[in-house]
Structure 1
Amino acid sequence: MDTKKVWFVTGASKGLGLTLVKRLLADGHSVAATSRSLSDLQNAISEENSMFLPLEVDLINEDSIEEAVSKTIRKFGKIDVTVNNAGYGQLGTLEETTDQEGRQNFDTNVFGSLNIIRKVMPYLRKQNSGLIINIASIGGLTGDFAGWGIYCATKFAVVGFTEALAAEVKEFGVHATVVYPGYFRTYFLTGGSLRTPKNEIEEYTLARQLQVVHEKEINGNQPGDPEKAALALIKLSEMQNPPVHLVLGSDAFQIAGNKLNALQNEISDFKTLSNSTDY
């Protein structure tokens, strides 16, 4: 039985997306990969490969996405795995972050993924199979990062709509998984993947300190190996019943455990008040 799949991966010109695409092609899978810049994508993956379809896509333009999905279907005949990986980090406290900065982060990290889902689902429903992997962040489970509020909010949204999606599509034999990566050694903390607020307020010393820690100390020293993350995603795609939630990285696993324990304790501490509102 042929175990090779057709993958549709967004944000594929760098970081985890690029690592995943290279691994998939090396393993003989068919890959449609998207980026805002076709040249960036072609430069990152230069070899000629009949199993590779590079696509320039604007994630907030539904026509652009529909065209890319249609090209993928025409070339490969189907889509087995969709990976919503494209996104960037917006730094800044909630007071500092402008309306435009916040909306732009939501456009890419949230509405871009929803646009992809809306365009691939008709094909997945028709074929009665498929897996949608939405890449969130451990910051989608805990927002306890001063100066990362908008970014965490986008990733919390990814978690919420993935849970709903999993419930909605299971009757069609389609699965959905939200992935919570910890810190992986990519270029996420540098360049265009991380944006700082235009209007910094000096009184927010904790947020500034955490920003410096990410840019100067964590960057380049992340414990996660992108190659192993790619292998984990491939293993996920091979599962008959993949989980709705998948934490990636020992750091993320520890943070998730701490958050769940703290949440359980806090909820239990106020049980009396919680139950006091019933008739």
Structure 2
Amino acid sequence: MKTQKVWLVTGASKGLGLTLVKHLLAGGYRVAATSRDAEALRSEIGHQGDGFLPLEVNLTSNTAVAEAVASIVAQFGTIDVVVNNAGYGQLGTLEELSDEEARENFDVNVFGSLNVIRNVMPVFREKRSGAFFNISSIAGFLGSFPGWGIYNATKFAVAGFTEALSAEVKSLGISATIVYPGYFKTNFLHQGSLRTAKHPIADFKEARDLEVIHNEKIIGNQPGDPENAAEAFIKVAEMEERPLHLFLGSDAFGMAYNKIEAVQKDLTAFETISKSTDYQQ
């Protein structure tokens, strides 16, 4: 039965991850979900029965992820769908953020997902099926947000390695999808999910202005509905042909088109210079 598929959702303690887990369990799917506090996650979900496996996992540790995957297979027998959702936002201009702050954001947002992929792939390869949904962001497609450079870079990295993964696993019957959410009405913009620079520099007006916009205008007015996003995930996961690029939200959809148009404009305007670098016949 389709509803007996086993899902692994990381970063399930809040936001889109939490909403997705609730929808999956309500739909009869078996779900393993990671969080920094497994008992708090179990309490928040409130699901009774052996179809739910909450796991406390340090995703930046390959050993911890390997142990978690083994636990999932031991309980459910397999894994069918993976949603690499865990991550956090890091605000701060490139000059403001320390090497430590930047690397920590990459450790969670990028290397955490790579650890999951690396350890789930043997399960997928053995059965020649499986689906990865790697959560990027519209900021992983359009990077012109002042003060979001490092976060953007982590999400561009997610998009980049997912494109490669999709090509690597195609003949194995496995799919990989980059998910680019726009603004959803979750707690992502609140402290804990969004960190600010430890040593801000007042000169960066554009970055400070954008922070004010997020704090005063965007929080509470996000157009995206997490409940609808969860249903979209499930719908796409059940498709035989899944997209490589999946934009969620009308805002993300619109910003993606704007980026594509800007790239096409530059391609056209500078075509002569671009092609002038070839060896001349």
Q: Same fold (TM over 0.5)?
A: yes
What residue identity is the alignment partner of 2:209? Q
CA distance in 2, matches of 1:42, 1:32: 11
Aligned equivalent of 1:267: 267
Residue 197 (1) aligns with residue 158 (2)? no
Once residues 97 and 39 of structure 2 are traced to their aligned partners in structure 1, the CA distance between those partners, rounded to angstroms, is: 31
Any unmatched runs of 5+ in structure 2?
none
Cα drift, residue 47 of structure 1: 3.0
Q: Look up the equivalent residue of 1:28 and give its one-letter code.
A: G
- For the 8 Å contact 1:9–1:32, the answer to whether it is kept is yes
Answering whether residue 40 of structure 2 is matched by residue 46 of structure 1, we say no
CA–CA separation in structure 1 for the residues paired with 2:136 and 2:49 = 30
Displacement of 1:3 after TM fit? 4.2
In the alignment, is the contact (CA less than 8 A) between 2:39 and 2:54 conserved in 1?
Answer: no
**Misfit runs of 4+, over 2 Å:** 1-4
Q: How far has the Cα of 1:191 moved from its partner? A: 2.2
Give the aligned partner of residue 92 of structure 1: 92
Cα 1:272/1:199, change in 2 over 3 Å: same
Does the residue aligned with 1:220 lie in a helix, a strand or coil?
Answer: coil
Q: Deviations over 1:22-42 (max 9, x none)?
A: 000000000000011223312
- 8 Å contact from structure 1 (residues 132, 176) kept in 2: yes
- Distance in 1 of aligned mates of 2:49 and 2:146: 44
- 1:262 counterpart SS class: helix
Deviation at 1:43, TM superposition (A): 2.6
Structure 2 residue aligned with 1:6: 6
Q: How far apart, in 2, do the equivalents of 1:3 and 1:55 lie?
A: 21
TM-score (norm 2): 0.98
Partner residue, 2:24: 24
Q: How does 1:247-262 map to 2 (within 5 A)?
A: 247-262=247-262
How many residues matched?
Answer: 279
Alpha-carbon distance, 1:235 to partner: 0.6
Equivalent AA in structure 2 for residue 273 of structure 1: I
TM-score (norm 1): 0.98
Indicate the residue corresponding to 1:246 in structure 2.
246
Deviations 1:81-107, CA, capped at 9 Å, x for gaps: 000000000000001111000000000
Q: Give, as a single letter, the amino acid of the residue that structure 1 aligns with 2:235.
A: K
Alignment correspondent of 2:231: 231
Matching residue's letter, 1:143: G
The one-letter amino acid of 2:74's match is R
- Tell whether 2:142 aligns with 1:149: no
Sequence identity of aligned pairs in percent?
61
User: Does 2:123 align with 1:118?
Assistant: no
> Structure 1 residues 261-270 or 18-27, which shifts more?
261-270
